[in-house]
Amino acid sequence: MKKTIQTTSTHKKLKLFQDAEAASLFVAHQIAELIRDKEKQGKTAVLGLATGNTPKGVYQELIRLYKNEGLSFKNVISFNLDEYYPILPDDQQSYTYFMRQYLFKHVDIKEQQINIPNTDFSEKGIAQYCQDYEDKIQSLGGMDFQLLGIGRNGHIGFNEPGSDFESKTRLVNLDSLTREDAKAAFGSLDKVPEKAISVGVQTISKAKKILLLALGERKSEIMQQAINGEITTEVPASFLQSLSQAEFVLDASAARAL
- Interface with ligand F6R by CB under 6 A: which residues? 50-54, 81-82, 149-151, 155-157
Q: Of the two residues 52 and 162, which places its CB atom closer to ligand F6R in the complex?
A: 52
Q: Of the two residues 11 and 233, which places its CB atom closer to ligand F6R in the complex?
A: 233
Q: Of the two residues 70 and 94, which places its CB atom closer to ligand F6R in the complex?
A: 94
Active site includes 111?
no
DSSP for residue 203? H
State in angstroms the smallest separation of the CB of 50 from ligand F6R.
Answer: 4
Active site includes 106?
no
Alpha helices in the chain (DSSP H): 20-40, 56-69, 95-102, 126-139, 176-186, 201-205, 220-228
Active site includes 160?
yes
Active-site residue, selected from the candidate residues 61, 134, 144, 160: 160
State in angstroms the smallest separation of the CB of 46 from ligand F6R.
Answer: 17
Active-site residue, selected from the candidate residues 82, 181, 234, 251: 82
Q: Of the two residues 63 and 116, which places its CB atom closer to ligand F6R in the complex?
A: 116
Active-site residue, selected from the candidate residues 75, 80, 153, 159: 153
- Give the alpha-carbon dihedral of 158, 162, 165, 168, to 10 degrees: -40
Would you put residue 40 in left (φ > 0), alpha (ψ -120 to 50) or beta? alpha
Active site includes 173?
no
- The residue at minimum Cβ distance from ligand F6R is 149
Three-class SS state of 242: helix
Among 87, 9, 75, 2, which residue's Cα sits nearest to residue 44? 75
Q: Which residues make Cβ contacts (< 8 Å) with residue 90, sequence separation at least 6?
A: 96, 97
Active-site residue, selected from the candidate residues 155, 175, 181, 247: 155
Binning the chain into helix, strand and coil, the percentages to the nearest 5 are 40, 20, 40
State in angstroms the smallest separation of the CB of 40 from ligand F6R.
Answer: 29
- Residues catalogued as catalytic: 82, 153, 155, 160
